[in-house]
Chain A
């Protein structure tokens, strides 16, 4: 149970970074935290004590595997996270290019 709570704590740390930090790069890092937290949670959900990794190495293997679906989901989630992070970083770089700063308070042109 503790280990599941640690995922939630990691999630909240990321959320804290997104909400309070003023540096754009730190906000992106906050998202990375949240993504790791969720991926870790997925991996833990699939875990079964004493079971093997879900790889078939012999033809007649006893079916004593951990749940493989969360691992596949994590892989997909990582790819999506990669896409968003890359897009976010490129937008941040372009913003830096316009304003010469990463500080969110100095680039607030849009109101509301």
Chain B
């Protein structure tokens, strides 16, 4: 059997969704409470890493998910640069807020900050996961 024991796999199945949702919560409340894009992205990457650790993976599958992770990472970075350039286009200054500021302490507040957090979480989550995968993939290189 590949990966770890049945107990680990079952618990992973149960926990992975909660971890993921907790990560999303941290990201979306980044402008109100401690946390934000980076912390939430790390938690999401943790969920993905847990899955790989529990179930194990093959060289081919790892290569594929690394490709996918790097695309997500690029999308996150592009979103972030896109928000900055949208500020340049719509409000005249790079990174300037172009959204209504909303009611303080509400989920819908902070202008572009929540969107920046989402973009950062893509970048960090996918980036950390692909760092993990490429360090894990060294074992295949070593066998050659």
Interface residues of A (CB under 8 A from B): 53, 55-59, 75, 79, 82, 86, 89-90, 93-94, 96-97
The 11 sampled A-B contact pairs (Cβ below 8 Å) are: A53-B34, A56-B104, A75-B38, A82-B128, A89-B135, A90-B134, A90-B135, A93-B135, A93-B138, A94-B138, A97-B142
Contacts of A94 on B, CB cut-off 8 Å? 138, 141
Contacts of B128 on A, CB cut-off 8 Å? 82
Instruction: Classify the secondary structure of B's interface with A.
Output: helix
Instruction: Classify the secondary structure of A's interface with B.
Output: helix
Q: Does B33 contact A (CB under 8 A)?
A: yes
Q: Does B4 contact A (CB under 8 A)?
A: no
Contacts of B138 on A, CB cut-off 8 Å? 90, 93-94, 97
Cβ contact within 8 Å between A59 and B105: yes
A-B contact count (CB 8 A): 26
Q: Does B131 contact A (CB under 8 A)?
A: yes
Band of interface residues on B: 10 to 19
CB distance from B105 to the nearest CB of A (A): 6
- Other-chain residue from B38, B105, B131, B141 in contact with A86 (beta carbon distance below 8 A): B131
Closest B residue to A100 using CB positions: B142
Could you tell me the distance between the alpha carbons of A57 and B33 in the complex, rounded to whole angstroms? 8
CB distance from B143 to the nearest CB of A (A): 10
CB distance from A37 to the nearest CB of B (A): 21
Contacts of A58 on B, CB cut-off 8 Å? 105
Contacts of A89 on B, CB cut-off 8 Å? 135
A-contact 0/1 string along B122-144, CB 8 Å cutoff:
00000010010011001001100
Could you tell me the distance between the alpha carbons of A59 and B109 in the complex, rounded to whole angstroms? 13
